[in-house]
Amino acid sequence: LRLARELLTMHVLLGLLLVAFSSASAFAPLSTPVQSNAVRAGGSSAVLSLRAQQQTANKNAFPDFATLSKVAAEVGNALQYTIQQPQRVRYAAAMTARFSYFLSQGVGVALSGINEGSQKQQPDTPTTQAATRSLDPVAIVGALADAILSDTAPTDYSTSTLRNVKMAEQPLLENTEQRSLFAKNFQAIVGVIKSDLQNVEDGKYKFPYDLELSYAPQWSPAPVLSQLNIYLDERAKVIDRMYKKDGFEMRRNLKVSKGKYPQYYLQNFHYQSDGWLSARSATIYDYQVESLFLGMADAMRRQVLPHFTSHVRSLKNSGRVESDIKILDVATGTGRFASFMLDNFPALKLDALDLSPFYLAASKKLLNKYKGVTYVEAAAEDVPSKDKSYDIVTCVYLFHELPQTIRSKVVKEWFRVLKPGGKVYFVDSAQEGEVPYDRVLEGFTIIAHEPYYINYTKQDLVKLFQDEGFTVDTTEVHWVSKCLVATKPLHDVTPESAAVEPQLVDATK
């Protein structure tokens, strides 16, 4: 509890600069294209999972008065833009609070020493170096200023190119490299926020329900402090498990009937307690993911929604009744993405599929007000539905935790259960070559138990879908997430088509 109070105090201390960043960068007029493909989750989470910097000589300089004056001017311009519409004010207030909370939490956890584990003294290995390498708080402050000024007065840090060297060659980042890495992350976060707000203003989807200050699970102090307390307790256990490289603890501690779950599933992914098979895991999942992505996970999920809502509206315009449109949400987890779909189209008929009964229970709690939802406990590669059952299949953050052979089986299964002309809306991690600093992909597999992740980052997803008969309509990269839209042809053909290149998103359009 004392640590929780200290973290909340830090939120207040960092608040002014974080508000300045969020207001000036994210809510400025959309005058320039947004570069959306920045570093993978390992870039932000790996950096924020570091311990506090203890060097006597700091190569970074705190922003000088002239820089802070420019920052203040940008904040003023952004506030003028924001107050023009009440909806912008609501969005800006919620997203500023959300980003500020999770960034300051990450810094606070690093400063507290939690990331050193319960034993504190650990052998010097690539794993411990990746998990506890030094974090320079001044680098974060400087990077916030760099990101605020990236459009009007780019700095050396916001425009620099980071060297892609292996972790073994350079396990520690220099202070200036940390600042550049943070700056690139923050610029990409701005891109996600701008795109999210523009989508709302353009009517592509509703104002997100979870950004309403009346949404108690996210904004009331009691549930937030409860989640923080569980997160801090779990974080220490994750670090200890990581030092031991013990990603299979649950196989020793959990007794299940033979064949009930595939072997690839019975692992402590992220070194998380119980893997995906406990109520506690399901309770803390969304909070952990938002901590990993600095409060941007929901916004990144929503970037595929414009494609989804456009298709549903076209089906309705063609005469389909909303309640007759059937969706399969694969690996629904806690039902988070399903909740955004149903918030926009509450009468949809949706099958929420997940292999974990505990996560299905959590999704049922979130989605209980929607009458058309059915809960399906099954593996993604073995959907218990007839051929041509669904109009749409959705899947968020699953493929990077599947072996390559299983990914192929899953896509084949989607092709089977989709109606001709049906659509797939897919979101997962960005891949190799879509981030400016590929070594963070390697770093993520060190600090998190992700045995299939590197293979995923190298796989050609477009070819994977095309090989199973799909036509790939588009792919996009938004910060550290990638979305893909694919269509099952109306007729049984497998067209030979060129690979679709991931597109940067221009938030001005």
How many CB atoms are located within 10 Å of the residue 284 CB? 20
Helix axes 2-21, 86-112, angle to 10 degrees: 130
What does the block give as tokens for 347?
A: 């009468």
Q: What pLDDT is attached to residue 58? A: 45
The Cα 228–Cα 216 span in angstroms is 15
Q: What pLDDT is attached to residue 303? A: 97
Angle (CA) 305-399-304 rounded to 5° is 10
Residue 365 in this model has a pLDDT that exceeds 90: yes
With cut-offs at 50, 70 and 90, classify the pLDDT of residue 377: very high
Q: Is residue 48 within 8 Å of 125, Cβ to Cβ?
A: no
The Cα 275–Cα 107 span in angstroms is 26
What single-letter DSSP state applies at residue 214? T
Angle (CA) 353-444-456 rounded to 5° is 50
Q: What pLDDT is attached to residue 29? A: 55
With cut-offs at 50, 70 and 90, classify the pLDDT of residue 225: very high
Instruction: Catalogue the E-assigned strands of 221-364.
Output: 326-330, 349-354
With cut-offs at 50, 70 and 90, classify the pLDDT of residue 199: very high
The Cα 312–Cα 322 span in angstroms is 8
Q: What pLDDT is attached to residue 2? A: 44
Q: What pLDDT is attached to residue 501? A: 60
With cut-offs at 50, 70 and 90, classify the pLDDT of residue 469: very high
List, for residues 201-214, the tens digit of each pLDDT value. Answer: 999 999 999 999 88
What does the block give as tokens for 138?
A: 């001044």
Angle (CA) 118-230-12 rounded to 5° is 95
Q: Is 408 left (phi over 0), alpha (psi -120 to 50) or beta?
A: alpha
List, for residues 476-499, the tens digit of each pLDDT value. Answer: 999 989 999 999 999 865 444 445
How many CB atoms are located within 10 Å of the residue 376 CB? 17
Using DSSP, state whether 368 is helix, strand or coil.
coil
- Contact residues for 245 (Cβ-Cβ < 8 A; gap 6+): 127, 449
What does the block give as tokens for 258?
A: 């033979």
List, for residues 300-342, the tens digit of each pLDDT value. Answer: 999 999 999 999 999 999 999 999 999 999 999 999 999 999 9
Lowest-pLDDT range of 155-159, 356-360, 435-439: 155-159
| Sheet with 418-429, edge to edge strand ranges | 373-377, 349-354, 326-330, 390-396, 418-429, 481-487, 471-478
With cut-offs at 50, 70 and 90, classify the pLDDT of residue 296: very high
**First vs last C-alpha separation in the chain:** 46
With cut-offs at 50, 70 and 90, classify the pLDDT of residue 106: confident
Q: What pLDDT is attached to residue 239? A: 87
Tokens 């999972």, residue located: 49
Residue 407 in this model has a pLDDT that exceeds 70: yes
SS (H, E, C) 491-503: CCCCCCCCCCCCE
Q: What pLDDT is attached to residue 20? A: 46
Q: What pLDDT is attached to residue 468? A: 96
What single-letter DSSP state applies at residue 482? E
What does the block give as tokens for 297?
A: 């996970």
The Cα 152–Cα 490 span in angstroms is 48
In sequence order, which ranges of 379-452 are alpha helices (DSSP H)? 404-417, 439-447
Q: What is the mean pLDDT of residues 359-370?
A: 97
pTM comes to: 0.84
Q: What pLDDT is attached to residue 19? A: 45
What does the block give as tokens for 192?
A: 């996600």
Helix count and strand count (H, E) for the chain: 20, 9
List, for residues 46-75, the tens digit of each pLDDT value. Answer: 334 333 333 333 445 667 767 777 777 777
Q: What pLDDT is attached to residue 26? A: 55
Q: What does the mean pLDDT of the chain come to? A: 82
List, for residues 243-292, the tens digit of each pLDDT value. Answer: 888 999 999 998 888 889 999 999 999 999 999 999 999 999 999 999 98
